[in-house]
Amino acid sequence: MLLQVRNLRISFRTDKKNTVEAVKGISFDIPQHRTVALVGESGSGKSVSSLAVMGLLPPQTTVIDPQSSVLFEGREVLRQSAAERRAMCGKEIAMIFQEPMSSLNPVFTVGFQIGEVLRLHMGMDARSARERTLELLEEVGIPEPASKIDAYPSQMSGGQQQRVMIAMAIACKPKLLIADEPTTALDVTIQKQIMELIASLQKKHRMSVLFITHDLGLVAEIADEVIVMRHGEVRESGDARSVFSEPKDQYTRALLHCRPRLGARPVRLPVIKDYMEGRFDGSEQLPQRSRGSSPDDEIVLDVRGLKKSFWLREGLFGKREFQAVKGVSFMLARGKTLGVVGESGSGKSTVGLTLLRLHQASGGSAMFAGRDLLAMSAREFQPFKRRIQIIFQNPYASLNPRFTVGQILLEPMRLHRIGADDAERTRLALALLERVGLPQQAYHRYPHEFSGGQRQRIAIARCLTMKPEILVCDESVSALDVSVQAQVLNLLQDLQDEFGLSYIFISHDLSVVKYISDQVMVMHKGEVVEMADSDELYRNPQHPYTRSLLAAIPKAA
């Protein structure tokens, strides 16, 4: 057995007297040359457990039970000195982190950062390290490694950055590779490439892999064994095939069924609470929702030939034009959802931001209520801001951390003179909090006191203060756990049913897009390559790019 974890208990100090137990006596094994998936929602303790193995938890606030044991090839990891741990981590145990831009140093080239690992752990000189770095970049599939070796992280795409992280992790041919949510923010095609790359490297180097994720469907194709965690405890573990085909724990069944599936579109997605409280066990036939468009639909937004270019600096004085959106046209019907899919760089988010005039359009028109949104002056557009709103991907960045939730909700109502006075606005804000499933006590709290899913609900409530007719949802559920994602999707659907809202739903998650969309628009390199009703597009895709996107969906989806 390569790694043995026994009775691991980890607590964090909240102040001088109190602690919170994050990991509650878990035990598991990682055999040699096997891939083990550690699955659970945010807060389950899966990442904390892996950071304990790597020795990356902050010593000032972390308390690890003295009875806990982590054995790596028979060596007690938790009792090692700092020098022994540094010598082992990076060489024998390596880790790939979730967000490569936060893990890579922006002021050093990727070649220097990979070479640093080789110089530190393998004792290579600069020339040997550079030659080995070129081999590693080629091995992980970086195009033109001779030129990319001197590139900075900001000059590479998200998928390429993650490949650099993988190259750094495998540089010393470790025996154990820990991959902590390495594909969460990546497009479905890049996600498939990274999963296949990790699987091929595991076989080539005969490594063991601990793959950490919240998405059970993602690990179906890569894991040999699965460990399911919740609230710091192991709920179920075993062979991956048996866990997927015959899950024994109610929580495991909940994780498998909360995610939208390509073959079904229930009126409401079941959530974890439905399973844990016995209201649903996965065997019931849920009522299905019909989707699609009709020639009789009332059109609220008619976009024609939308273009957006950015000017990039080239040399000392030169610049060149980059066309991010190249003549996009579509119509959005009242009370309907248009799904927009494509890889990073396809222009899908730029379309949404340009419609809201957060980018200045380079051409085209967007007719809304008889007016062209793109041709208005700033003063003319001011009253239209109420009617078309956006929910951003990251609620951590889109909510002001210095404002209470009440201030966040009142500010737009004051700006647009909604409500007679602050007393009426407060009543409206409290009603909206209740509408999005948050208690009234949330009104006086700050964003950092909420989970990611709750923050996204606050962002939705802020949009609703404007009583909009169109909502642009820009990757608004992509970073959420499957159960929280289901809750937010149910909320969006309820709001559409109640208020007749129209959505432009931008996402790289094709299962979610199929679930919520009436029509789907596929974008590639700034152009629309295909558009059809969601059922028809998924059943019979016409364009090769669409077919490649659908082929990249995990088979368990």
**pLDDT grade, residue 282 (50/70/90)?**
low
pLDDT per position as a tens digit, 327-373:
999 999 999 999 999 887 788 989 999 999 999 999 999 999 999 99
Q: What is the mean pLDDT of residues 270-285?
A: 76
Do 370 and 478 lie in one domain? The reply is yes
406 in a domain, yes or no? no
Residue 31 scores a pLDDT above 90: yes
Q: What pLDDT, on a 0 to 100 scale, did the predictor assign at position 476?
A: 81
Do 319 and 332 lie in one domain? The reply is yes
Judged by average pLDDT, the poorest of 17-21, 256-260, 264-268, 381-385 is 256-260
456 in a domain, yes or no? no
The better pLDDT of the pair 18, 331 is held by 331
Do 352 and 481 lie in one domain? The reply is yes
Which of 292, 239, 297, 202 has its CA nearest to residue 516?
A: 292
Q: What is the mean pLDDT of residues 255-274?
A: 82
Do 81 and 137 lie in one domain? The reply is no
Unique residue bearing structure tokens 């909502």: 471
- Our count of domains for the chain comes to 3
Q: Which of 205, 224, 248 is the last residue of a domain?
A: 248
142 in a domain, yes or no? yes
Residue 255 scores a pLDDT above 60: yes
Do 217 and 365 lie in one domain? The reply is no
Do 62 and 209 lie in one domain? The reply is yes
Residue 283 scores a pLDDT above 70: no
Do 141 and 218 lie in one domain? The reply is no
Do 85 and 5 lie in one domain? The reply is yes
Do 84 and 56 lie in one domain? The reply is yes
**pLDDT grade, residue 284 (50/70/90)?**
low
Token pair, residue 264, equals 């079904």
Q: What is the mean pLDDT of residues 281-287?
A: 72
Percent over 70 (pLDDT), the chain: 97
pLDDT per position as a tens digit, 408-424:
999 999 988 888 898 99
Q: What pLDDT, on a 0 to 100 scale, did the predictor assign at position 286?
A: 79
Strands (E), 59-190: 62-64, 69-72, 75-76, 93-96, 176-180
192 in a domain, yes or no? yes
Q: What pLDDT, on a 0 to 100 scale, did the predictor assign at position 479?
A: 67
Task: Name the phi and psi angles at 104, rounded to 5.
Answer: -90, 140
Do 492 and 344 lie in one domain? The reply is yes
Do 166 and 186 lie in one domain? The reply is no
Element (H, E) at 237: strand 233-239
pLDDT per position as a tens digit, 516-549:
999 999 999 899 999 999 999 999 999 999 998 8
**Cα gap 182→189, rounded to integer Å:** 14
Q: What is the mean pLDDT of residues 208-225?
A: 84
420 in a domain, yes or no? no
Q: What pLDDT, on a 0 to 100 scale, did the predictor assign at position 417?
A: 87
Unique residue bearing structure tokens 């076989």: 203
The better pLDDT of the pair 359, 221 is held by 359
The better pLDDT of the pair 450, 386 is held by 386
Judged by average pLDDT, the poorest of 194-203, 382-391, 510-519 is 194-203
pLDDT per position as a tens digit, 156-192:
876 788 889 888 988 888 999 999 888 766 777 777 8
Which of 347, 340, 351 has its CA nearest to residue 514?
A: 340
Helix (H, G, I), strand (E, B) or coil at 434: helix
Token pair, residue 56, equals 């990356």
**Cα gap 238→34, rounded to integer Å:** 13
Q: Using CA atoms of 32, 35, 36, 39 in order, give the dihedral in degrees to the nearest 10.
A: 160
CATH code, domain carrying 185: 3.40.50.300
Do 109 and 232 lie in one domain? The reply is no
285 in a domain, yes or no? no
Q: Which of 214, 248, 282 is the last residue of a domain?
A: 248
- Domain carrying residue 308: 299-397+469-552
440 in a domain, yes or no? no
The better pLDDT of the pair 293, 482 is held by 293
382 in a domain, yes or no? yes
Q: Which of 154, 171, 188 is the last residue of a domain?
A: 171
Strands (E), 369-483: 371-372, 388-391, 470-474
Q: Which are the contacts of 335, defined by CB distance < 8 A and separation ≥ 6?
A: 496, 500, 501, 502
Residue 7 scores a pLDDT above 60: yes
Length of the chain as a residue count: 557
pLDDT per position as a tens digit, 37-76:
999 887 788 889 999 999 988 888 889 999 999 999 989 9
Q: What is the mean pLDDT of residues 198-212?
A: 89
